[in-house]
Amino acid sequence: MVEVDVSLSRSSARSEIRVGVISAAARILAEEGLAALTVRRVADRVNASTKVIYTLFGGKDGLLEAVYLAAFDSLSEELAAPAAVAQPRERILALARA
C-alpha cells in the first residue's frame, strides 16, 4: 500500500492555483487596464468560482496586492541576473535589457 501525504498535495495545488489566478489578473490588467479587472472576470479566466479568489486573496484588493508583489519579485529576479556578467559595459547593457 502506498501512503500519500495529502497535505503536501493540497499545498502544492493551492500554490499552483494561486499562481494561475495572479497570472490571469496580471494579463487582464496588461491587456485592458484596471477598470476591466473584477473578481468575476478573473474567476472566469481561470475557470473557477469567485469563492476561490476570496479564499486565496480575501477579494479584489488582496488580489491586486498579490499581483503587485509578484511583479516586483519578477523584476527583482530580472535585475539580479546581469550581476553575473563580468564586463561592466556588458553588465550595464544587460541591466538595461532587463
CATH superfamily of this structure's domain 6-73: Homeodomain-like (1.10.10.60)
CA dist 29 to 36, 56, 93, Å? Answer: 7, 19, 29
Q: Name which of 25, 72, 77, 79 is nearest 48 in CA terms.
A: 25
Per-residue pLDDT tens digits of the chain, which is 98 residues long: 556 565 667 888 889 999 999 999 999 999 999 999 999 999 999 999 999 999 999 999 999 999 999 999 998 888 888 888 888 888 888 888 87
Domain boundaries, the chain: 6-73
Task: Please give the grid coordinates belonging to residue 48.
Answer: 473557477
